Amino acid sequence: MRALFRRSLLSKLIVSYLAVITLTLIVMGIAAMLNAPDALDRHMSGMGGSQHMQSVSGDMMGDLRGNLLATLIEVLLIGGAIAAAVTLAVSVILSRRIVQPMRAIAAASQGVAAGHYRQRVPVTSSDELGDMAQAFNHMAERLQETERRRIELIGNVAHELRTPLASLKLQLEGVIDGILTSDASALLDMQRELSRLQRLVVDLEDLSKIEAGQAVLDLRLVQVGEVIQAAASRLRPQYDDKGVSLLVTLPVELPEVRADANRIMQVLMNVLGNALHYTPAGGTVHLRSWVEQQEVCVEVSDTGSGIGAEHLPHIFERFYRVDKSRTRVSGGSGIGLTISRQLVEAHGGRIWASSAGVGKGSTVTFVLPLANQRNGG
Ligand code: ADP
């Protein structure tokens, strides 16, 4: 019984209601008993003065007083018993209304803890209990979304690894069985697949660190212009090899931003690398930067394959590639822009893409707040 009382909020609430009514009745009883004799005497002495009561003897008055007191006690006892019964009934109903939502949340929490992320509880009131149910549902929704992304990520990674691994295995088996010669070109093919796998693993590692908030940014005052020039110089030989022109337009002076220069370089290499990748020979990539509304804007526009409007909102998602049928040899892993977005956002900036349509080139723009903005002015 004690254990039940200790563990059940319902019984605690009912007992507390009963304790309040019992206390009220006791106080009422004591007050009535203390006041009743004096009150009776006062009222009866008033009656004794009347003509009608003058014939009533002193004994009869005593009797009457005793009976009146007994009646009062009886009425108090019956009234008290009825009040206690009604209180008990009402307290059971009220307590259930309080306890039931809490039990539902407790049961649903256990479900979520066991991995049933679809669990929700009904929101039946707009008080604190309703707020609690709403907060629980919100938490369950977020957990469900995180779980969905986790499963999706595992599926994507497995999918990304399957093709290069299968291709490597086939080539190796061919060489072992003597069907393929282990000449330089076969070995080069294998090396290319391995490099791709290695890059994918490095990208995944990077992405998981950034998403887990473990990638520490080495924030310093940085001249964006210098980082842009350095990125362009690094990629220029590849642009020249492919026959794509790389134009750089910078203002004479660009203000400083508080940033991790290596990470900004990583974003630029990815965006410029994509522009080169998706622009055929003879095309042009234009890298520009300017200051607008307390932000440094960096824009990379190309005259390449362009991006269909239906794909634009998705290209920053993990593993999203516009051309899904593209062979692994010609394509990337589809997480470069995801990493870029995470990095730009970690700097307090934004990144987006636009395109006039397929075959009409694309533009990727990112903005970073000026150093004095991030410092709070
Ligand atoms: P990937 O490594 O596959 O290039 P990204 O995350 O860098 O992955 O880009 C995602 C997708 O966005 C690419 O697969 C490509 O379809 C599209 N994309 C990115 N940049 C361009 C561009 N400059 N021109 C055309 N498509 C692009």
The answer to whether residue 50 scores a pLDDT higher than 60 is no
pLDDT of residue 221: 94
Binding pocket residue ranges, ligand 1, CB within 6 Å: 270, 274-275, 278, 302, 304-305, 307, 315, 320-323, 331-338, 362
Pocket probe for ligand 1: among 204, 320, 337, 343, the residue whose CB has the most ligand atoms within 8 Å is 337
Range 154-177 average pLDDT: 84
> Ligand 1 center to residue 272 CA distance, Å?
11
Distance, in Å, from the CA atom of 94 to the CA atom of 86, rounded to the nearest integer, reads 12
Residues paired with 298 in a beta bridge? 289, 366
pLDDT in tens, 202-214: 888 888 888 887 7
The Cα–Cα gap between 301 and 285 comes to 6
CA 320 to centroid of ligand 1, rounded, Å: 8
Residue 375 has pLDDT above 50, yes or no: no
DSSP 196: H
Q: How many CB atoms lie within 10 A of CB 110?
A: 11
| Cα 15 from Cα 207, distance rounded (Å) | 56
Diameter of the chain measured on Cα atoms: 140
327 pLDDT band (50/70/90 cuts)?
very low
Pocket test for ligand 1, best of 284, 321, 323, 343 (most atoms within 8 A of CB): 321
CA proximity to 271, closest of 336, 346, 317:
336
Look up residue 332 and give its amino acid.
G
Q: Report the separation in Å between the CA atom of 322 and the middle of ligand 1, taken as the mean of its atom positions.
A: 7
CA distance 236 to 247: 10
Give the dihedral of Cα atoms 213, 215, 219, 225; nearest 10 deg: -110
Mean pLDDT of 79-103: 87
Query: Considering only CA atoms, which residue is closest to atom 12 of ligand 1?
Result: 315
DSSP strands (E only) in the chain = 220-223, 245-249, 256-259, 284-292, 295-302, 350-355, 362-369
Q: How confident is the model at residue 304 (pLDDT cuts 50, 70, 90)?
A: very high
| pLDDT beyond 80 at 352 | yes
- Interatomic CA distance for residues 265 and 230, integer angstroms: 8
| Residue 349: burial class (beta carbons within 10 Å; 0-12, 13-18, 19+) | buried
Res 310: pLDDT: 92
CB 368 within 8 A of CB 351: no
* Reported confidence tier of residue 376, pLDDT bands at 50, 70, 90: very low
pLDDT value of position 356: 94
CA of residue 335 to ligand 1 center, whole Å: 9
Pocket test for ligand 1, best of 299, 312, 315, 319 (most atoms within 8 A of CB): 315
pLDDT for 48 equals 56
Of residues 194 and 276, the one with the higher pLDDT is: 276
Ligand 1 atom closest to Cα of residue 338 = 6
Find the 321 Cα to ligand 1 centroid distance in Å: 6
Expressed in angstroms and rounded, the spacing between residue 334 Cα and the centre of ligand 1 is 7
Please check the confidence at residue 328 and state whether its pLDDT lies above 50: no
What is the average pLDDT value for the chain, to the nearest integer? Answer: 86
**Confidence bin at 47 (pLDDT 50/70/90):** low
pLDDT at 242 over 90: yes
What whole-number distance in Å separates Cα of residue 21 and Cα of residue 26? 9
Cβ(192)–Cβ(229) below 8 Å: no
Decide if 160 contacts 200 (C-beta within 8 A). Answer: yes
Residue 330 main-chain phi, psi, to 5 deg? -90, -10
